[in-house]
Amino acid sequence: MLPTSRLEAVNEMLSSVGEAPVNALQTGYVESDIAENLLDSVSRETQSKGWNFNTNEKWTLTPNSNKELYLPANTLKADGTVQNATDNWVMREGKMFNRVTNSFQSEVTLSVTLTTLLDFTSLPEAARRYITLKASRLLQDRTMGLGNLHQFNMQDEHNALIELRDMDAEVNDFSIFDSFDTYQIINRTGGNVR
């Protein structure tokens, strides 16, 4: 069995509201187009949080001939690594902006943590499943608004989110020491945990 395709996701969304499946996307069928747009919206929202599969740490940006640091077109967020105490780089207008100098100009390369928007078919199955279920619930809420179906779909969505977070944690090899709360406890005791 192959991972969920966009067509399968849209058809699952359509079935959640009692609509017939379609054989292709962008056919002009209004319900299918609405479902596809909602799928894209939920995918963008989900990926904006930044997961192991769409976040690149230490992505290097090199200034162009105008000394500007352009980001890839599919960038959702970028956080510049501070070069010195006076730098504060943020994403603005598709490129990096130095808030301290109030300029897009840079003389040096910049290392950024880059979160990108991936195509639905480039996502791991756990992400595809969560996005499909959330988009299905939203489509059902917007078209039918039945409370008992909302609760049922919400539980499925919640379970899929847990699965996605578990997959993300497994790939990232998180430990208890990756928690800010743990850091505060260790730091409070001077690094001596008893």
Least confident of 31-45, 126-140, 142-156: 142-156
Looking at per-residue confidence, does 26 or 83 come out higher? 26
Task: Decide: helix, strand or coil at residue 116.
Answer: strand
Is it the case that residue 94 has pLDDT exceeding 90?
yes
> Long-range pairs for 10-15 at CB < 8 Å and ≥24 separation?
10/35, 10/36, 10/39, 12/132, 12/136, 13/38, 13/39, 13/132, 13/135, 13/136, 13/139
Is it the case that residue 176 has pLDDT exceeding 70?
no
Look over the chain and give the mean of its residue pLDDT values, rounded to a whole number. 85
For residue 133, name the pLDDT band (cuts at 50, 70, 90). very high
Please report, for the chain, how many H helices and E strands are present, in that order: 5, 5
Is it the case that residue 80 has pLDDT exceeding 90?
no
Whose tokens are 């359509």? That residue is 14
Is it the case that residue 52 has pLDDT exceeding 70?
yes
